[in-house]
Copies of this chain bind each other. A is one copy, B any other.
């Protein structure tokens, strides 16, 4: 009798939302226990489906990781774009974008690590590398705008943006690696923004 369906868990044969729930739980465990703790079987167990069910939505473990990374980049990009749309002075918008990046990086440290895992470099889905380039694009746009306004010095905007991006990303990496030795993160962001502005201004 397939109809029983006990009160507590009326769950039908088809879960109906497995993919989304897998991603959600996966990000939780990623945040609390790290990448290595991510296991398709454990996720299935937590959610209450059979151990092979996740395979219908993620061909293999790597596919799940890729999906998490893509989602992470999309959220990061939205945060940076939103910070860039601020209407303050250009120099401050630089700082706010950097702050948004660092904020994301520190509150989602494990996720950011996953996003940049070189693993994705070879054979990575197009969507992922695309999303990854999106963050950089925000910085490029800002540099271009600054150059048009005569506030940023001349030079290939891509490279100047890469420099800025590298600085902020490195700062986030230091914070994640606990190499900041207690330096307040926002002060470091301000210091970096100051340094960058000295390096980039016309």
Binding site for B on A (CB under 8 A): 34, 36, 109-110, 113, 116-119, 121, 129, 132-133, 136, 158-160, 162-163, 165-171, 173-174, 176-181, 183, 187-188, 191-192, 194-196, 198-200
Contacts and interface: CB of A to CB of B under 8 A. Distances in A.
A142 to B, nearest CB: 15
A163 B166 CA distance: 11
A36 B119 contact: yes
Contacts of A188: 159, 162-163
Contacts of A181: 158
Nearest to A199: B195
Given A167-B167, A170-B168, A198-B199, A116 B162 contact: no
